[in-house]
Chain A
Amino acid sequence: MFACIFGRNVCRSEGRASADAENQRSGLGDLAFTFSPLVEQTTDATLVLDISGQDLLFQSTGCAISTGEIQSARKVANAIARRAKDLNIKINVAVASNPDTAIHAARAFKGVTVIECGEELSTIESLSIKTIDYSLASIDDKRAEELQETFALWGIRTFGELARLPLPGVAERLGQEGVRLQKLAQGRTNRQLNLVRPPIGFEQLLELEHPIDELEPLSFILSRLLNQLCANLHEYAFATNELKLNLKLQDKSEQQRVITLPVPMRNPKMLLRLLLFEIEREPPQAAIVAVAIVAEPVKPRASQTGLFIPLSPEPERLEITLARLAKLVGADNVGSPEILDTHRPDAFRVKKFRLDQKTHRNVKNNSRFALNAGEAPALPVMGLRIFRPPWRADVRLRHGTPTRINARCEQTSCSIHGEIVCVAGPWRAAGDWWCKDVWARDEWDVAVIDPKSFEGEVLCRIFRDLTTEQWFVAGIYD
Chain B
Amino acid sequence: MNSAITKQEIESALAVRFGDVFERHGQRWVETLTTGVSEIDDVVGGFPRGAITEIRGAASSGRTSLLFSGLAAATTQEEICAVIDCSDTFDLSSAAKAGVDFERLLWVRCGHSLERAFKAVDLILHAGGFGCVALSLCDVPAKAVRRIISSWWFRFRRAIENTSTSLIVLTPVSAVRSCASLALEMKNERTLWPGTMSLVSSNDSGDKNAIEAERRLSLVATPAAKPHVYPAHTHFLRSMQIRANRQRPIDWSAGAMRFNPQLH
**A: which residues have CB within 8 A of B?**
309-314, 317-318, 320-322, 324-325, 328-330, 333-339, 346, 348, 350, 353, 355-356, 359-361, 363, 366, 368, 371-372, 374, 376-388, 401, 403, 409, 411-414, 419-424, 427, 443, 445, 447, 455-459, 461, 475-478
**Cα distance A445–B231 in the bound complex, in angstroms:** 12
The 8 A-B pairs of least Cβ separation, nearest first, read A313-B129, A383-B64, A380-B69, A424-B196, A379-B262, A478-B64, A321-B127, A385-B89
Q: Which residues of A contact B60 (CB under 8 A)?
A: 456-459, 476-478
At the interface, yes or no: B199 with Cβ under 8 Å from chain A? yes
A383–B107 CB distance below 8 A:
no
Q: Which residues of B contact A384 (CB under 8 A)?
A: 64, 91, 93-94
Q: Which residues of A contact B152 (CB under 8 A)?
A: none
Q: Which residues of A contact B31 (CB under 8 A)?
A: 368, 372
Q: List 13 A-B contacts (CB under 8 A).
A: A310-B164, A317-B128, A329-B109, A336-B105, A337-B102, A356-B103, A372-B46, A376-B38, A380-B66, A421-B198, A424-B233, A445-B236, A457-B188
Which DSSP category, helix, strand, loop or mixed, fits chain A's interface? mixed
Q: Which residues of A contact B264 (CB under 8 A)?
A: 381-382
A382–B65 CB distance below 8 A:
yes
Task: Report A114 CB to chain B, min CB distance, Å.
Answer: 64
**Cα distance A455–B59 in the bound complex, in angstroms:** 8
Which stretch from B1-9, B14-22, B138-146 is at the chain A interface?
A: B138-146
**Cα distance A443–B233 in the bound complex, in angstroms:** 9
Q: Which residues of A contact B237 (CB under 8 A)?
A: 382, 459, 477
Q: Which residues of A contact B197 (CB under 8 A)?
A: 401, 422-424
A381–B80 CB distance below 8 A:
no
Task: Report A363 CB to chain B, min CB distance, Å.
Answer: 7
A312–B80 CB distance below 8 A:
yes
At the interface, yes or no: B255 with Cβ under 8 Å from chain A? no
**Cα distance A209–B32 in the bound complex, in angstroms:** 59
A-B CB contacts (within 8 Å), total count: 254
B259–A423 CB distance below 8 A:
no
Query: Interface digits, B54-93 against A, CB 8 Å rule (1 contact, 0 not)?
Result: 0000111111111111001100111110000001111111
A445–B38 CB distance below 8 A:
no
Q: Which residues of B contact A325 (CB under 8 A)?
A: 108, 120, 123-124
Chain B CB count within 10 A is highest, among A325, A336, A477, for A477
Beyond A368-B77, A381-B264, A386-B91: 16 further Cβ-contacts under 8 Å?
A: A320-B127, A325-B108, A329-B108, A329-B116, A334-B108, A336-B107, A338-B102, A377-B73, A380-B262, A383-B91, A385-B138, A387-B89, A411-B112, A421-B198, A456-B58, A477-B237
Query: Which residue on chain B has the smallest CB distance to residue A321?
Result: B127
Q: Which residues of B contact A338 (CB under 8 A)?
A: 102
* Option from B59, B200, B232 in Cβ contact (under 8 Å) with A478: B59
A413–B58 CB distance below 8 A:
no
Q: Which residues of A contact B200 (CB under 8 A)?
A: 419, 421-422
**Cα distance A3–B223 in the bound complex, in angstroms:** 91
A310–B65 CB distance below 8 A:
no
* Option from B87, B93, B259 in Cβ contact (under 8 Å) with A339: B93
A382–B108 CB distance below 8 A:
no
**Cα distance A419–B199 in the bound complex, in angstroms:** 10
Q: Which residues of B contact A412 (CB under 8 A)?
A: 87, 112, 139-141
Query: Which residue on chain A has the smallest CB distance to residue B109?
Result: A333
Task: Report A352 CB to chain B, min CB distance, Å.
Answer: 10
Query: Which residue on chain B has the smallest CB distance to residue A315?
Result: B129
Query: Which residue on chain A has the smallest CB distance to residue B130?
Result: A313
At the interface, yes or no: B95 with Cβ under 8 Å from chain A? yes
B68–A380 CB distance below 8 A:
yes
At the interface, yes or no: B159 with Cβ under 8 Å from chain A? no
**Cα distance A321–B64 in the bound complex, in angstroms:** 26
Q: Which residues of A contact B92 (CB under 8 A)?
A: 337, 339, 346, 348
Q: Which residues of B contact A336 (CB under 8 A)?
A: 102-103, 105-107
* Option from B67, B124, B188, B223 in Cβ contact (under 8 Å) with A456: B188
A334–B139 CB distance below 8 A:
no
Q: Which residues of A contact B45 (CB under 8 A)?
A: 372
Query: Which residue on chain A has the smallest CB distance to residue B73?
Result: A377
Known contacts A403-B199, A427-B233: does B106 contact A383 (CB below 8 Å)? Answer: no
Task: Report A400 CB to chain B, min CB distance, Å.
Answer: 12
Task: Report A329 CB to chain B, min CB distance, Å.
Answer: 5
A455–B261 CB distance below 8 A:
no
At the interface, yes or no: B131 with Cβ under 8 Å from chain A? yes
B236–A477 CB distance below 8 A:
yes
B91–A346 CB distance below 8 A:
yes
Q: Which residues of A contact B174 (CB under 8 A)?
A: none
Query: Interface digits, B98-129 against A, CB 8 Å rule (1 contact, 0 not)?
Result: 11001101111111110010011001101111
At the interface, yes or no: B191 with Cβ under 8 Å from chain A? yes
At the interface, yes or no: B235 with Cβ under 8 Å from chain A? yes
Q: Which residues of B contact A334 (CB under 8 A)?
A: 106-109
A314–B129 CB distance below 8 A:
yes
Task: Report B228 CB to chain A, min CB distance, Å.
Answer: 13
Task: Report A332 CB to chain B, min CB distance, Å.
Answer: 8
At the interface, yes or no: B260 with Cβ under 8 Å from chain A? yes
**Cα distance A255–B234 in the bound complex, in angstroms:** 54
Task: Report B156 CB to chain A, min CB distance, Å.
Answer: 15
A422–B63 CB distance below 8 A:
no
Chain B CB count within 10 A is highest, among A378, A412, A458, for A378
**Cα distance A350–B105 in the bound complex, in angstroms:** 11
Known contacts A336-B106, A422-B198: does B129 contact A311 (CB below 8 Å)? Answer: yes
**Cα distance A377–B87 in the bound complex, in angstroms:** 29
Q: Of residues 159 to 196 in B, which have CB atoms within 8 Å of A's CB atoms?
A: 164, 187-188, 191, 193, 195-196
A381–B261 CB distance below 8 A:
yes
**Cα distance A476–B211 in the bound complex, in angstroms:** 26
Task: Report B161 CB to chain A, min CB distance, Å.
Answer: 16
B110–A329 CB distance below 8 A:
yes
Q: Which residues of A contact B158 (CB under 8 A)?
A: none
At the interface, yes or no: B13 with Cβ under 8 Å from chain A? no
